[in-house]
Amino acid sequence: MNPQEAKEIFEEADLICSAEESALAVRRVAAEITARLADANPLVLAVMGGAVVFTGQLLPQIIFPLDFDYLHVTRYGDVTTGGQLEWIVKPRSTVEGRVVLVVDDILDEGVTLAEVSRRLLTQGASEVLCAVFADKNIGRTKPITADFVGVHLPNRYVFGYGMDVKGAWRNLPAVYAVKGL
């Protein structure tokens, strides 16, 4: 997508969650994670690239020891509908015997997060918890539920706060929905 197309999408988009609401949601999630995991010394795994904004805002608000790593998986590539899960980067850290907190941008259909959690448990994680900035209401049961959720979103094509529209607008401090979708 060229810059002009990205600007047009943004200019026509509907604001779904303001920057202020986003910041408050992250603060609340950080407090919930702290209450649950302060004594666990968890391994925090960010799911790249969508989780970079949420993770970057969340980690400084979690005041207890933890280890950090990342993984990169995708079901989308350059398309907007999910396909086969592809592991681009596996975590370097061992998960065996660890409490693992997976941090992601959005729980959409839940297929990717469910597979990541399954794989980490297969690799010996003692517990896998999931924190997502957004949980999208898709109107049907998902294969996984997040343990920590920042905001709940309608079933629309959203972008901002780590989520992209054809590669653009991950950097926005708020969440928008593409007009008409």
> Does residue 166 come out as left (phi exceeding 0), alpha (psi in the -120 to 50 range) or beta?
left
Run of H or E residues at 149: strand 148-153
| Closest to 102 in 3D by CA, of 85, 82, 80, 125 | 125
Structure token pair of residue 108: 């959409």
Residue type at 74 in one-letter notation: T
How many whole angstroms separate alpha carbon 166 and alpha carbon 148? 27
Catalytic residues: 108
Residue type at 68 in one-letter notation: F
